[in-house]
Each structure stands twice: as C-alpha cells, then as structure tokens.
Structure 1
Amino acid sequence: MTTIRLSVAGKSMTATLTDSAASRDFVQMLPLTLELSDYASTEKIADLPKKLSTAGAAAGYEPSVGDITYYAPWGNLAIFYRDFGYASGLVSLGRIIQGAEHLKFSGSQKVTIEVIASQR
C-alpha cells in the first residue's frame, strides 16, 4: 500500500492508493504538481503528463466523496468531493482518508502530490 500527501493552498490531505497497474504508474510520476480545476461541481480534475496503464481495471467505477480516480478516455486525474454515479472508463486509484474537505475550493488551485509511505 502507498500513502500519499496532496497539498492545496497550504492544506494537506492524506490518501492511500490501491495496488493496481494504474496506481503504480501514477506513483512513478510522483512528486508532481498539477493544476486542479472544478468539473461539474462534483470533482476536481487535472491533466496528467502521460496516460496510465488500465491493465486489469474494471470497465468503470462508481465514485464517492474522497475517491481518487483516473478517467482513461481523457487521460486525467479526477478527485471527487461529491458522490457520483457509475462512469465507464473511470479507474479507482485510491481514496483520501484525511482532509477531503479541502477539495471544496473555487476556481483552480495547484496541488502537489507526493509519496509519504510505501509498503511492498
């Protein structure tokens, strides 16, 4: 299991990542600074520097508050601050376990994502 920190506007969130091809690809990119913007008043999204592997991933996912996901059709990171219905092409990467309330900001904000612990 890998634990990451997401820092936005001086506030931190802690998340754990699943053990999947997509999340392993994501971890290889870290540390990373991205521009998070709002999408559909439900999630914060950011473009990733490269596509992640979806090998072994389900065809879609039904996210809830705090879920960190990868939207394969667009190649972007999507972090949910509201529950959402099933979406094809959405792949779970992990979940925010502390600080998800810090996603409720207006406009765009830079987020820095870094590994803080990794167990194999």
Structure 2
Amino acid sequence: MSIMSRHERPTLVQAMIRGLRGRCPNCDRGSLYWKYLKVEPRCQVCGHDIAQYPADDGPAYFTILIVGHLLVAPLLFFPIIWQAPAAIMLPATLIPLAVATLVILPRVKGAFIGLLYALKVKASDAHLHTADMAD
C-alpha cells in the first residue's frame, strides 16, 4: 500500500497551509523546496510530482500586495516617514521591507502551490487557458 492511498486528499485550506509551511501539499511530510524558491521536482516522501504546478508570477504579485498594502501603506500615516531626511528614512524603511519581502515570498509561493494542488491546476492544462486568436 502506498503512502498516497493511506490518506485522504487534503482540503483547499489544508493544502495551502501545508504549502505555507514549505511542506508537500499531498503528504505534509516532504519538503516543498530544495533551495530558496526552487521547488522539488518530486516529494522525497510520497513521490508526488510537485513541479507540475505552475506558480509562475502569482506568488510575486501576492507578495507585492501584502508588503505594499499591508506593511507600507500604514507607514505613510506616520509623519516621521515623510518629514525625516531621506538619507535616514530610505535605508530605515527599504531594508526592513526587502527583508520582509524575502521572508514572505517563499511562504506565499508555497501557499500558491497548495492552492494549485487543491484546485488540480497543472502546467499541462495551459492550453485550456490560452485562446487561439487565429480562429
């Protein structure tokens, strides 16, 4: 009996949480990444083909949304941000924002891959989403 047949397919939320934690969306035991943002081709535990889920630019857009709207926008309400000298405020704000972006991006990408897994969206389905304009 294989590992995949011993457990139920996770719900959408469970798959996203597994990806958020950097784990295989199928079994929750294997690692999702083998480098910073490089997805494992196959789960080392259950053998699930993780590379089939096309994350593409989606995680970057959501990371920009999170960092830009939830972290940067509230800072603009504090007068010190726009009244202090630029030589002080630029590094004081850009360095933490760059670090936050680098910390958030792999988690968002993992959740995005979990979402694609739960919705059964695969790279091989790309032809379904592109219109042939010659017709």
- Same fold? TM cut 0.5: no
Q: TM-score, normalised by structure 1?
A: 0.30
Q: Greater helix share, 1 or 2? A: 2
Q: Greater strand share, 1 or 2? A: 1
Tell which structure's C-alpha radius of gyration is larger.
2
